[in-house]
Structure 1
């Protein structure tokens, strides 16, 4: 009797060598493609969807109370104090001459983008999601006679999330506009922002978090989130799965186990799930998705605003996900009060998940 497992390992058989070579080349191409992968932020302005490379965006924030500016007009809406640095804010929809947005004003955000050595705020209607891409995915589009056509790199197609116009951040504005808006605000309002800059230096290092909601406010370290996908995508649910498993979803040619957090922690189901999103996280090479009520914003906070989770939050019973949290974030609110968000503890969450799956 011949052992098939040993036969395929005979090195001097040409067919075996060719098969191994093809497998190695396929693995090498997958590795190179993953190494070249990047992320972008998708956002909406005037009913149109746009995208900017993640490395171009320094911060995403809710629209604060903007300071009045001598440049106030159709485009410039004022300036904000970004940790001691005055940053001019431009209405991106007015810049592109888009139709006025019809969404909820609470969804509006300011994207702080880097243009050379300068910073500028872009006022947009909403931030949609974070999505991975490759430079080869961007399709060129004709921009004949289009004002500011140089700012468009092309179209980033996505059958699940919708196509986006991909922008070249370094071509959004002319050199003269950058000098007027960025350098002008810095020259006029640097002294006014100086006190905040001095205070900021005492705060310490900052980290970036993805804020989301699940009955209450939550946040996750942005480095833990690989992707955000819509809840209405195709899902396969094999028979015999635990109740907390929403199903299996294909994301970037990889199967992801999607966990319904409300079911896992015995929380009441959400009546309207149109705003739900799936956060794709990775742990030890395995990816899984978490169904959350909605994605709120991206936060940049100093370590000094991380606090141990109050004991009262951890004794609310098994139907409160906060029992698996060790820290909270104190987020400054627009009205001067602080909004407390619970920080997702991935290790504790996985321990609870393993307990549920093991007992299913």
Structure 2
């Protein structure tokens, strides 16, 4: 019996050691996949607990970073993350990063040096320390982190196997085309995207009226061409308390789900771009309430990681469903009248934007919208209004400044904050992009509501006058100058 106990005491385990806020921790060496520097680019994840710093992309795999100091309640000096290390812990196909101040050494510990703790309450997420290694007669203590317990922290289990998650995402996306187009936007500086066919339109912020069904999520309602639509706080749906009240710079995404419409407040409209469903990367979701709202993460050239939203899962909360149902029932007569009026209307979807004036192009004529590229290649001998060419996914795009092309006065030459609208290829297969100050909205416009050409616009530039197809009013009553796609590409092609 004594011989057996002696053998047990001689059993050794290998551990990787780390330091954090003056404390020393160890992890089973077999569970440590690798140790990396704290990433320069980290993304905040909606619905995440406060002990999660965010997520980052490690060679195509999304890794959440656990802030061990916050989880364990260790005093935080609010220092920078510049010199931190991240240990990537992998158990059963689930990878989680744990941040430390510094790495230590590889140590061997005999069984007799290890004191195990009783983790009695597995629901207590702070119980990730399973024991301690005592050295130097107890003067030096290494706290042993249990990798399997880290993975069991509330909501991290939602990660599951990446292979299983990938299969689930593929199943949900397989009904869509291989190449999908999405609209990207921001909520509290978190980059989000939604498949473009899911968005009925995007309008500028307007007065939100009080509703009898107002709540923490439902801020009230707006009137859109006679149709009453409840407006929801997207930041609150995402579990984020907005740092500011509703402001005029925000947008409202109008989503149609079945026969119901609802609006979502977002901070900005960033881009329209493509993504491949096989490039959607699984991301951790930290809430069981709306766990299927996130399809995954997609990489954007300029914005980095963007979270792809499944619009049909935004309303999986009974309270939100009740809000839309209640509004639709009480305002049903208005909806019926709206349907009747549609018969006499010719509604078309347009992207509206600004470059000196309020312009619009049909959604069908726009391939995508991107940030101004950093690597525009100047072309020798090109006209002054041609900024250069850009390689966009192995297609050369000629980028044009329409202000210079049409003789509109420019206040500055700065490109920061501006967008490039990539037009659909012309009949020769040429690809063009036009530089605009900002993207305003994506709206349905009644083409029967035409206006006379404003005299001011007519006097600005004869060339611009020739390239205008219509002047119409948007939902706010403002004039929108509808540009002729054919005229623009013909003019660019003649002057390249």
Residue 82 of structure 1 deviates from its aligned partner by: 3.7
Residue in 2 that maps onto 1:314: 458
Q: How does 1:344-359 map to 2 (within 5 A)?
A: 344-357=483-496
Give the match for residue 258 of structure 2: 116
Q: Does 1:331 align with 2:331?
A: no
Pairing of 1:83-162 with structure 2 (within 5 A) = 83-101=225-243, 105-145=247-287, 147-162=289-304
TM-score (norm 1): 0.80
Q: Deviations over 1:126-159 (max 9, x none)?
A: 2211111111121001225565222111111123
CA distance in 2: counterparts of 1:139 and 1:198, whole angstroms: 40
Does the Cα contact within 8 Å between 1:151 and 1:168 map onto a contact in 2? yes
1:305 aligned counterpart, secondary structure: coil
Distance in 2 (alpha carbons) for counterparts of 1:136 and 1:169: 19
Quick check: which has more Rg, 1 or 2? Answer: 2
CA–CA distance in structure 2, aligned partners of residues 89 and 317 of structure 1: 41
* Residue 406 (structure 2) pairs with residue 298 (structure 1): no
Q: What SS is found at the alignment partner of 2:278?
A: helix
How far did 1:119 drift? 2.0
* 1:76 corresponding residue in structure 2: 218
CA separation of 1:240 and 1:287: change in aligned 2, threshold 3 A: same
> Which of 257, 263, 267 is the aligned partner of 2:398?
257
Given candidates 30, 36, 39, the residue that maps to 2:181 is 39
Shift of the 322–137 alpha-carbon distance from structure 1 to 2, 3 Å rule, reads farther
Instruction: Please say if residues 224 and 475 of structure 2, whose CA atoms lie closer than 8 Å, have aligned partners that are also in contact.
Output: no
User: 1:40, 1:130 within 8 Å by CA — same for their partners in 2?
Assistant: yes
2:200 is aligned to 58
Tell me the equivalent position of 2:140. none
The aligned counterpart of 1:341 is 480
1:195 to partner: Cα distance: 8.1
Q: Secondary structure at the match of 1:72?
A: coil
Cα displacement (A) at 1:218:
0.5
Deviation at 1:111, TM superposition (A): 1.0
What's the secondary structure of 1:105's corresponding residue?
A: coil
2-structure distance, mates of 1:277, 1:305: 28
Partner of 2:61: none
Cα deviation, 1:57-81, whole Å, max 9, x if unaligned, reads: 1121112323321121211111233
Q: Which runs of 5+ in 1 are unaligned?
A: 1-33
Deviation at 1:294, TM superposition (A): 1.5
Contact 2:206 2:248 (8 Å CA) reproduced: no
Structure 2 counterpart of 1:9: none
Please report how far the alpha carbon of residue 104 of structure 1 lies from its aligned counterpart in structure 2 after TM superposition. Answer: 9.1
RMSD: 2.6
From the superposition, tell whether residues 267 and 87 of structure 1 become closer, same or farther in structure 2 (CA, over 3 Å).
closer
Counterpart Cα distance in 2 of 1:179 and 1:104: 23
- Aligned position for 2:209: 67
**1:288 and 2:432 are equivalent in the alignment:** yes
Cα distance per residue 1:260-317 (max 9 Å; x no partner): 1122223333414323211101212221111112111111111212346356633444
Matched with 2:311 is: 169
Determine if contact 2:356/2:403 at 8 Å carries over to the other structure.
Answer: no
> How far apart are residue 205 of structure 1 and its match?
2.0
Pair 194,231 (structure 1): closer, same or farther in 2 beyond 3 Å: closer
Does the 8 A contact of 2:445 with 2:475 survive in 1?
A: no
Higher RCO (CA-CA < 8 Å; seq separation 6+): 1
Alignment of 1:207-222 (within 5 A): 207-222=348-363
Deviation at 1:56, TM superposition (A): 1.2
Q: Name the SS for the 1:150 alignment partner.
A: coil
1:241 to 372, 382, 386: 382
Are the aligned partners of 1:107 and 1:127 in contact in 2 as well (CA < 8 Å)? no
